[in-house]
Amino acid sequence: MDDYAQYVLHAVNLAGGRPYADTGYILNPAYQVTGPVTYPPVFPLLLAGVYKIAGLNLQAMKAATVLAFAAFLYLLFLLFSPGLGSRRALLAAGLVGLSPVFWKFKDYLYAEYPFLLFSFAALYVYGRARAAEAAGGRWLPRALAAGLLAYLAYGTRSAGAALLPAFLIADLVERKKLSKTFLACGAAALGLAVCQGLTLHSDAVYAGQAAELLSRSSLPGTAAANFWTYADRLTLLFDNGYSELLAAGVLGAVAALAAAGFVRRAGREPLFAAYVLLNAVMLLLFPASDGLRYAFPLVPFLFYYALAGAQAGAERFRRAARYAAPALLLAALASYAGAYSRAQYGAFREGTGKAETKLLFDFIRSSVPPGEPVIFRKPRTLALYTGRRASMYHFAPDGELLAYFKSAGARYLITGAVFPEDAAFLSPFAARNPEKLSEVYFNADFKVYRLNP
């Protein structure tokens, strides 16, 4: 996936006052899973500020997202303190912050860290606003701030749409009616979302992508597949680098405590419960997954409910359960230590740093006229580093594929030995059509062909 490149392209456009959607990425209607023509604008807006200061510096942009993650951990402590107490809330924030999964994610330029910050800030501020309204205090400024934060979460990742329904459910469960806080918060968030939809980005662009993905499996089939996929990937939270069985065992114990904690707390904390359930439903029904990152909003609550479950067990079975939390903490930290013993340290890693990739980009910049689109598996990356328009191919018979190249106006095709899909499909396609394709460049990783008239 080269989502990061599209975020940066949007940021460059915002910083330069150019049309937001003018990224150089050409959507292939027959292969929309690559991504839509636009992404939500809040993360690009944050990156635009970094771009204004540091230029096209991915290291600086990644550093900005890490700062957002640090702020999120502080919000997590504030959010969890009322339910767990300060010490356990600090422990929950520490377990999230020290997780090797989140450590590794620092090398990727995605919207997840800012999304977590805005989402959990919205949960925290909304809770404060409701408490202020109940006490007869100044609830309106907090409600409007919660609405702004809920929009910022949604404007960072569309999954932020779960926040308002969670607020609504919490009101109906606790008060059997809508609070003034919810009405003000909802009006602010929805108003900003409508403005976004009318100007920079509408979630309607995901319709084709969702339809293509759903055509591959039924909704029940998708839910079942996602359940097992995420059950497996959650073991990455406790991946120690040595024993998969130990990682699965630690996850199983934590999940059992979390289930007990959720059952005990859900009725008393409907806001948390609604947010968790809505995100879980979205994970199960969304017809795509990308590692563990879509499940990131649920990870803090896994630790929250596990600690709540351990606390409840210690209260009920003092002798048998008093050591549950310390034992699980030691197991988690041992898993973390094992993972960090094999982790890579130093500067943020960049996937475009290979010499062969740089040579490819140099050739495209020097030899391909600016107005001629290129077919490439990473079209947005190519557009970012070369300024050339680019599109993804799709898996089809030769005639259909050549017809798409012509309709897109493409004059060049790049195959990459580093991409398994290219090696299995695109390179054989090129070999079968020598009269249609002329090789004009190659290195150890890539070949460039000119499409003959």
Is the predicted pLDDT of residue 43 greater than 80, yes or no?
yes
- Tens-digit pLDDT profile for residues 389-412: 999 999 999 999 999 999 999 999
Distance CA 5, CA 295 (A): 22
Is 394 domain-assigned? yes
Last residue of a domain, one of 272, 306, 340: 340
Model confidence pLDDT, tens digit, residues 64-82: 999 999 999 999 999 999 9
> In whole angstroms, how far apart are CA 317 and each of 262, 320, 325?
18, 6, 13
Mapping DSSP to helix (H, G, I), strand (E, B) and coil, where does residue 441 land? Answer: strand
What is the distance between the terminal CA atoms of the chain, rounded to a whole angstrom?
Answer: 31
* Residue 413 β-bridge partners: 375, 449
Of 301, 316, 340, which one is at a domain's C-terminal end?
Answer: 340
- 104 and 188 share one domain: yes
| CA distances from residue 435 to 365, 401, 409, 413, 443 in whole angstroms, order as listed | 25, 15, 18, 14, 22
Question: Does an H or E element contain 424, and which?
Answer: none
Which two tokens mark 446? Answer: 């890539």
> Is the pLDDT reported for residue 251 higher than 70?
yes
Please report whether residue 139 resides in a domain: yes
pLDDT at 331 over 90: no
DSSP class of residue 452 equals P
Residue 299 structure tokens: 């990870």
Q: What pLDDT score does 421 carry?
A: 94
Read off the pLDDT band of 19 (50, 70, 90): very high
Question: In sequence order, what are the beta bridge partners of 279?
Answer: none
pLDDT over 80 (residue 376):
yes
> Is the same domain home to 278 and 407?
no
Residue 247 scores a pLDDT above 90: no
**Are the C-beta atoms of residues 290 and 1 closer than 8 Å to each other?**
yes
**AA identity, residue 3:** D
Residue 265, in any domain of the structure: yes
Ranking 29-38, 43-52, 139-148 by mean pLDDT, the lowest is 29-38
Total count of domains within the chain: 2
Cα separation, 426 vs 416, in Å, equals 9
The radius of gyration of the chain's CA atoms, rounded to the nearest angstrom, is 24
Q: Is the pLDDT of residue 347 over 70?
A: no
Instruction: Average the pLDDT over 4-25 and give the result.
Output: 97
Q: Is residue 160 within 8 Å of 119, Cβ to Cβ? A: yes
How far apart CA 329 and CA 350 sit, in angstroms, is: 33
- Tell me if 175 is assigned to some domain: yes
Q: Are 424 and 413 in contact (CB under 8 A)?
A: no
In a domain, 202, yes or no: yes
Q: What is the pLDDT of residue 23?
A: 97
- Are 137 and 251 members of one domain? yes
Query: Where does a domain end: 340, 372, 391?
Result: 340
Supply 303's token pair. Answer: 């630790």
390-391, strands of its sheet edge to edge: 25-26, 390-391, 374-375, 412-416, 446-451, 437-442
Same domain, 311 and 388: no
Task: Give the residue numbers spanning the domain of 245.
Answer: 40-340
DSSP codes, 343-404: ---SSPP-TT-SHHHHHHHHHHHHHS-TTS-EE-SSHHHHHHHH---EE---S--HHHHHHH
Contacting residues for 420 by C-beta, under 8 A, at least 6 apart: none
Q: What percentage of the chain reaches a pLDDT higher than 90?
A: 74
Distances (CA, A) of 61 to 15, 48, 106: 14, 9, 10
In a domain, 31, yes or no: no
